[in-house]
Amino acid sequence: MARARGANAIMAAAFETTYGTPPVSGFRKLPFVSSNLGEEQGLLSSDLLGYGREPLPPSKDVINNDGDVVVPIDLKNFGNWLKLFMGQPTSTTDTGTTTHVFTSGAVNLPSMTVEVGLPEVPSYGQNYGVRGNTMRVQMQRSGLLTATLGLIAQGENKLNASAAGTLAEATIERFSPFQGAVTRGGVALGSVVSADFTYSNQLEKVEVIRGDGRIEDADPGMVMMTGSLAVRFANTTLLDQATAGTPVEFTFGWVTDASRSLVFKVHSVFLPKAKTPVTGPNGVQATFNWQAAKDPTVGRTVTATLINNVPSY
């Protein structure tokens, strides 16, 4: 029997029509860097007395299935994850180029079945009822651009053969970190050393009493968008905004050309006052840990715009 290797692992995913019910078709092969999705069930130590010092058998605890999946931020496949976290986009096509607009605050969010396959064994973990909880993105000058997705699933079926059928597959075209840009109020923000942001649906597990020990669902809470900016201290623009306490629109994105881009527009960003510590003879940096809120004009916190040639998600 062959030993499983990550190089041959396959991730297949499809959106569910009914929460917790794996679809029979519509699966796509999605690229990923790592995954720790899968069920786990802990043990509870016995609390019984009167049987001496030797322990009695433990009892099984509830079943949990949540974990992080790290995926590349690419042109075509990443839209599937945006749909999971923000809901169905509004898509418009013009001469072969489609603009997908994802917005925060949807009342109902979709769920997925995500199958992680190890064909050498063979073993296929079919994780169903998967919802998107947190999306963390790090922006920097170099390296590989990825997103860390915190997912919560209802359960997992262990299969000896894939249930995903024939997989649709899109070409992989990753965005590069050097294509990234940060703007403030529509103007490029200079001297940014690094930036990161986290989009969260603040899912709450519905932990009811069930015969199978699994959750009933994971309900979305308040949208949360937070992050940090590390900048070389060249002017007082951000400090002045923090002092005034007025929100400003920020964008974080990557642009290849007019028909290939991904931009997160955070409509109302509040900055805290930040120190400008001097720690040596080199450059002075300031780090701003910002928070976003619903913009009263547009009525939402975040808009993600993905432009590619994929007709729909």
CA-only gyration radius of the chain, Å? 22
Distance CA 173, CA 259 (A): 13
Rounded average pLDDT over 184-195:
86
Asked if the bond preceding 122 is cis, omega within 30° of 0, the reply is yes
pLDDT, position 289: 92
- Which of the two residues, 242 and 83, has the higher pLDDT score? 83
Residues 70-87, mean pLDDT to the nearest whole number = 98
* Average pLDDT over all residues of the chain: 92
* CB-based contact 70:34 (threshold 8 Å): yes
At 76 the three-state DSSP class reads: coil
| pTM across the whole model | 0.93
pLDDT for the residue numbered 282: 63
**CA distance linking residue 301 with residue 183, whole number of Å:** 16
Which residue matches tokens 């590069």? 176
pLDDT tens per residue across span 249-264: 999 999 999 999 999 9
